[in-house]
Amino acid sequence: MVTTAIPQPQTTPIQSALIVGNYCHDVLLQGGAVVAETLGGAASFISNVFSALSVSFHLTSKVGFDFKYPVNHDPIVIPTSKTTVFHAYFDQGHTENAHQDRVLKRVEVCDPINPSDLPDKRFDFGMAVGVGGEILPETLEKMVEICDVVFVDIQALIRAFDKNEGTVKLVGLKESGFYHLLPRVKFLKASSEEALFMDVEEVRQWCCVVVTHGKDGCEVFWKDGEMKIEPFGANQVDPTGAGDSFLGGFVGGLVHGLVVPDAALVGNLFGSLTVGQIGLPKFDLRLLQRVKDEVQRRKLHNTCWFEGGKDSMSFTKPDGHDEFHASLASTKLVPTCSIQECQRDVPRSAGSVEQVMRPPCNGQ
């Protein structure tokens, strides 16, 4: 049966959200040359998607005195530190590790985010989305205390950095120092490469695990079940931030009243939109409006999505799920827009290589 919910007015969702993770500078390299320099960090990609979906949020992020991008949500500036910088080598991934699409090196690191840096208030949900080891176990502990529901990107927990070159390595989740906190986390997101560093069978007993599989979409695991969520087509030019935008779309979908399988489709959609562009994606405004309309039509419940204990976490694809996928896919068929009609939360820096490389908006 196809659900025929009446479209609701598009109001800003009422949940209060906390995003925790440092902005960074990303440098993309190929063949020994810099091909792009962009604003990075999961916090920037998620903010970008949240703004696109009209989800309001508070952001706790630290940068150094050299932070070079204008942003809508001001970070804490540490005058004695530099901004975290990642170099992404796109031609080394496959040779050094079959699971990687790129080799990442953290070449500068900003200060960690301490529990005292978090706001002194409660939030309906929080997102622990560090990239450079900035989230400490005590910071995540404070997050689970002040947020009713916590989403975690495993990259915030299991990254270790080579002392000399800063090469990103992954450590087992059990050895990460965060393992004891998992029973207090509601959703843990991992890429398929990162999922190899945890025992999904064990972790799914405590929280919902979402594993992303690049062009193949994602899989949702919970205590007693699992399901695959279909992907969307894309012409991939840069995979950076796909997982971050996925998480932004997934949580944004939940905030707008979607059930988990439908929200995961919104995650897949934003992941696919992100790989079609270099760096932080710019979304076509007409496409965004159509996505928001489809999400409002699809909204199946009016209760708070975070209500209920972990035992109530069990998901089935609701009737009309495939039609929702098709309607989201059709939003990509909007006519090409002019550059002025694209949205992005965070303006680009003047003169970055990214501007030279950027494909047109209909790369979406």
Ligand X SMILES: O[C@H]1[C@H](O)[C@@H](O)[C@H](O)[C@@H](O)[C@H]1O
Question: What letter represents residue 83's amino acid?
Answer: T
Task: Point out which span in 109-117, 178-186, 227-235, 335-343 binds ligand ATP (CB under 6 A).
Answer: 227-235
Burial class (CB in 10 A: 0-12, 13-18, 19+), 191: buried
Task: Point out which span in 78-86, 89-97, 229-237, 294-302 binds ligand ATP (CB under 6 A).
Answer: 229-237
In whole angstroms, the minimum distance from the beta carbon of 268 to ligand ATP comes to 3
**Binder among 22, 60, 176, 240 for ligand ATP (CB under 6 A):** 240
**40 binds, options ligand ATP, ligand X, none, Cβ within 5 to 8 A by partner type:** ligand X
| Count of other CB atoms within 10 angstroms of residue 56 | 13
**Could you tell me if 61 and 50 are in contact, meaning their C-beta atoms sit under 8 angstroms apart?**
no
In whole angstroms, the minimum distance from the beta carbon of 11 to ligand X comes to 29
In whole angstroms, the minimum distance from the beta carbon of 23 to ligand X comes to 9
Dmax (CA) of the chain: 60
**213 binds, options ligand ATP, ligand X, none, Cβ within 5 to 8 A by partner type:** ligand ATP
Establish if 132 lies at the interface with ligand ATP (CB under 6 A): no
In whole angstroms, the minimum distance from the beta carbon of 242 to ligand X comes to 8
CA distance 217 to 231: 4
Task: Kindly give, in sequence order, each residue whose CB lies less than 8 Å from that of residue 89, ignoring residues fewer than 6 positions away.
Answer: 29, 30, 102, 103, 104, 105
The active-site residue, picked from 244, 262, 284, 345, is: 244
Question: What letter represents residue 323's amino acid?
Answer: E
Establish if 88 lies at the interface with ligand ATP (CB under 6 A): no
Establish if 272 lies at the interface with ligand ATP (CB under 6 A): yes
Task: Point out which span in 176-184, 240-248, 341-349, 355-363 binds ligand ATP (CB under 6 A).
Answer: 240-248
Using the minimum distance from each CB to ligand ATP, give the nearer residue, 10 or 97: 97
Task: Write out the DSSP string of 238-265.
Answer: --TTHHHHHHHHHHHHHHTT--HHHHHH
**86 binds, options ligand X, ligand ATP, none, Cβ within 5 to 8 A by partner type:** ligand X
Binding site for ligand X (CB under 6 A): 24, 26, 40-42, 45, 86, 104, 131, 155, 240-241, 243-244
Establish if 242 lies at the interface with ligand ATP (CB under 6 A): yes
Using the minimum distance from each CB to ligand ATP, give the nearer residue, 207 or 275: 275
Token pair recorded at residue 90: 């796109």
**Could you tell me if 317 and 261 are in contact, meaning their C-beta atoms sit under 8 angstroms apart?**
yes
Q: What 3-state DSSP class applies to 297?
A: helix
Residue nearest to ligand X (CB): 40
Window 188 to 217, contacts with ligand ATP (CB under 6 A): 191, 212-215, 217
In whole angstroms, the minimum distance from the beta carbon of 105 to ligand X comes to 10
Task: Report residue 28: phi and psi, to 5°.
Answer: -100, 130
In whole angstroms, the minimum distance from the beta carbon of 165 to ligand ATP comes to 19
Sign of CA dihedral 209, 226, 223, 175: negative
Task: Point out which span in 18-26, 29-37, 125-133, 241-249 binds ligand ATP (CB under 6 A).
Answer: 241-249
Residue 34 to residues 29, 89, 353, 361: CA-CA distances in angstroms? 4, 9, 8, 22
**Binder among 75, 231, 261, 281 for ligand ATP (CB under 6 A):** 231
**Could you tell me if 313 and 221 are in contact, meaning their C-beta atoms sit under 8 angstroms apart?**
no
Using the minimum distance from each CB to ligand ATP, give the nearer residue, 118 or 258: 258
Which candidate, 148, 163, 253, places its Cα nearest to that of 210?
Answer: 253
Token pair recorded at residue 73: 């949500």
Which candidate, 8, 146, 119, 134, places its Cα nearest to that of 58?
Answer: 119
Please say if 244 is a catalytic residue.
Answer: yes
Distance of CA 141 to the CA centre of its chain: 21
Catalytic site residues?
Answer: 244
Q: Give residues in contact with ligand ATP (CB under 6 A).
A: 191, 212-215, 217-218, 231-232, 234, 236, 239-244, 246, 268, 271-272, 275
